[in-house]
Amino acid sequence: MRWLVGWSSIAASFGTAGRVAGQGPAHGSGRRGYPDTGHPGGSAPPHGGIADAAHAGDPGADAERTVHPVGSQLLWGDPDPLWAVGDWRPDEIRTLTADPADPFTRLAVLGCCGATDAELRRALYAARGGALRHLTQWSGSYTAVVQVGRRITVVGDLAGARPVFYTPWASGTAYATAALPLADLIEAQLDIGHLAALLACPDSPEALGDGTPYAGVRRIPPGHALILREGSREITGYEPVASLAVAGPQADPDRAVEGVREALVDAVRARLTAPRHAPDTAPPYDPGPVPGMGPADRRAARGGPVPGVGADLSGGSASATLALLAAGLPGAPGTLGSPAGARLLAVTFNDLATPQGREDELERARAIAADPRLHHVVVAAAAEALPYAELDGPLTDEPAPSLVFAARERRRLAAGSADHFTGHGARQVLDAHPARMADLLMDRRRRHLLRPVAALARSASAAGASGESLLVPLTVYSAARRLARTTYRAGMEAAAARLREGGVTERASGPVDASLAALTWSRPGPAAGWLTGEALAEVSIRLTAAAGRPPLSLRPGEARARAVLARHAADHRVFEQAVEVRSQRLHAPFLDNQVVRAARALPESLRVQPGARAAILRTVLSSTGVRELPPGWGATAHSPNETATRLGLRAALSDLLALFAAPLLADAGLIDARVVQQALLDAAEGRPVPLDGLAELVSMELWLHRLLARRGTCWTGTSAARRRAVPEGVPVHRPALS
């Protein structure tokens, strides 16, 4: 896990090494790589400026100031130190100063950023005056930190894939791009209310708020920045948001699609132009020549990525678009030392345990891989790659449903490249949330509802409900009209009342039911039906309190779409940590700032049409020279493989029952162990059970066990006590006496 951490306080010194910038030519040059903070010859670090104002009598001058992250690299020191922790590549960290004579006006950018040094310097000048949006307009995925005197600004991204967390610390504020290090720093306990909200209403930021699983550690919302002035904090948005419920003028569809194309191409190009890295050789070592296997094949067999650039090729439109763009753009997508135009590694996963249902997608993947610029690799696996096959794994920053599928995905990614593209986020960024139909009604654009409603009626007819399909248009229109006339406050209060009354057992059985369930301001998650009444009541209190705080947008479709994107981006971040392969970087260009901005400019009337995402991506490929696509390209992606999930549950049933024999979630008062065990038995026997809800419960239970089993900490120091999050374990819930 890679993260950055720093803090700002009234105190001017924290005893960090190399406290003042300007220690050599690295500072101010804007070069890629770590700044030189060493002291050759054993000389003392240079002094001067604000850092020298510290003395023994300063408030906070105690043992707390000597702590520093384990395995960290100091980017700059006192008065407001900043560290980078983890296996960052040298080109993923860039620092510069505005003027060598002003070492306390500086910028650090961590991640994949396509900006030039001149662009970084111009953005630093703009940020010095308070303009923050310039720090988010470059292609790539990154986190920017700006220091101007004693003012520190940390900028998050629009989607939420690169969040920023903060907590009070040492008469000031500590911040990081991961929550666990801050929880270790303050020895935070679990926030049981947040865990309950994460299970009851995962797609509702109103229930989650700005909290995290750790009490006292907060998260800034997507599209916002954290500003610290000598420890005092302020959270401000950098993206313009309309405050009225009336939509602005609609953008031209052709120009909007062209903006998506430019943003997506720039996002892919930013990864291709970055320096190539050879993966570290990890044991077991290469046994030597094997008949019929080259070095790359032997590395893949050992479970390590090959050098170069690769991409997923599942047969869907998102992964195929990224693979074809990366293979066609100028650059060297192949291995180190290979000439320009080398073939890009395209990886397809073939589930041998449940081969039925994905034949069309695999055939499309083979047809796309016939492109001479692609080198196609099919990763086949059977029972060993089923969901729930491996319940052991690394500790992630937060819980997410991807923990139960991590071993399955890691097997596929291990055969990929050191830089690997994935299509995650395309659906949430480009598709229209069903609640956007209510936005169209608010704008009196009823005619744009004809095609999506007709598509839902056809899906109901294809499912065998021909009689009910006649009522689908009226039912969907009525639900959209009701949502358009429901205020945010009334919607939140209705959702809170639904949780208190226990009305959380509904389950969508098809596209029509799913669309109707989504036409609301807030709805329960799939795991809410297994929560105790007290847990649901606590979440309902959160929703009631949120009813008095208006959201960023009063339009239900826009607000729900932003919430779903934020939830998916947070889950994708945990997914990256859970499936992490040594020396590999996963790239999700659809979650980049510029791609998200371009997609938000798409007219709602275009987004709600059936097949809009495939049409947009087809236009993107056509404008870049790719015009021949296999038949069926862009078809709706297959639903989650329920057969594979049930097979995995059946195979791991004994382990899962043992996991929930004395679950930590029951100790916290969130679930009843016997009810969940019965649900596992029902799912293994094929009875109708929300499988995605079970995945959320199992993932959270696994995450709690891994968190409590760890013995390490993210911090060390000469006189600091051992700091670890949740030092006393999960608080045991004692039910109130009736």
Closest CA to 346 of 289, 415, 293: 415
Residue 646: how many CB atoms within 10 A of its CB? 20
Written as six digits, the tokens of 408 are 């399955």
Closest to 170 in 3D by CA, of 7, 44, 47, 297: 7
Residues paired with 167 in a beta bridge: 174
pTM listed for this prediction:
0.89
Cα–Cα distance measured from residue 579 to residue 393, given in angstroms and rounded to the nearest whole number: 9
Side chain identity at 484, as an amino acid letter? Answer: A
Strand order in the sheet with 232-237: 93-99, 102-113, 140-148, 151-155, 224-229, 232-237
Q: Tell me, what's the pLDDT at 327?
A: 87
pLDDT at 99: 84
Looking at residue 15, what is its pLDDT? 57
The pLDDT of residue 145 is 96
Q: What is the DSSP string of 292-319?
A: TB-HHHHHHHHT-PEEEEEEE--SSHHH
Find the helix or strand (DSSP H, E) in which 556 lies: helix 556-578
Those residues whose C-beta lies under 8 Å from the C-beta of residue 393, and which sit 6 or more positions away, are 403, 406, 407, 578, 702, 706
pLDDT of residue 12: 60
Is the dihedral angle over the CA atoms 506, 409, 319, 400 positive or is it negative? positive
* Beta partners for residue 232, in sequence order: 229
User: Residue 302: its pLDDT value, please?
Assistant: 56
- Which residue, among 187, 183, 143, has the nearest Cα to 163 in the 3D structure? 143
CA angle 300, 305, 311 (to 5 degrees): 105
- Tell me, what amino acid is at 325? L
* pLDDT, tens digit (0-9, with 9 covering 90-100), for 270-299: 999 888 877 765 444 555 565 655 555 555
Task: Give the integer Cα–Cα distance in Å for 614 and 634.
Answer: 5
- Which residues of the chain, if any, have pLDDT below 70? 11-65, 241-249, 280-304, 330-342, 357, 462-469, 506-509, 636-640, 718-721, 734-738
Q: In this structure, what is the dihedral angle of CA atoms 250, 256, 257, 262, given to the nearest 10 degrees? A: -170
Residue 693 φ/ψ, nearest 5 degrees: -70, -40
Q: What pLDDT is attached to residue 589?
A: 97
Among the listed residues 524, 521, 525, 519, the one whose alpha carbon sits nearest the alpha carbon of residue 456 = 519
* Angle, in degrees to the nearest 10, between helices 317-328 and 253-272: 60
- At 488, give phi and psi (nearest 5°): -60, -45
Please identify which residue in the block is written with the tokens 């002003």: 102
Place of tokens 């208006």: 550
Element (H, E) at 350: strand 344-351
The pLDDT value recorded for residue 298 is 56
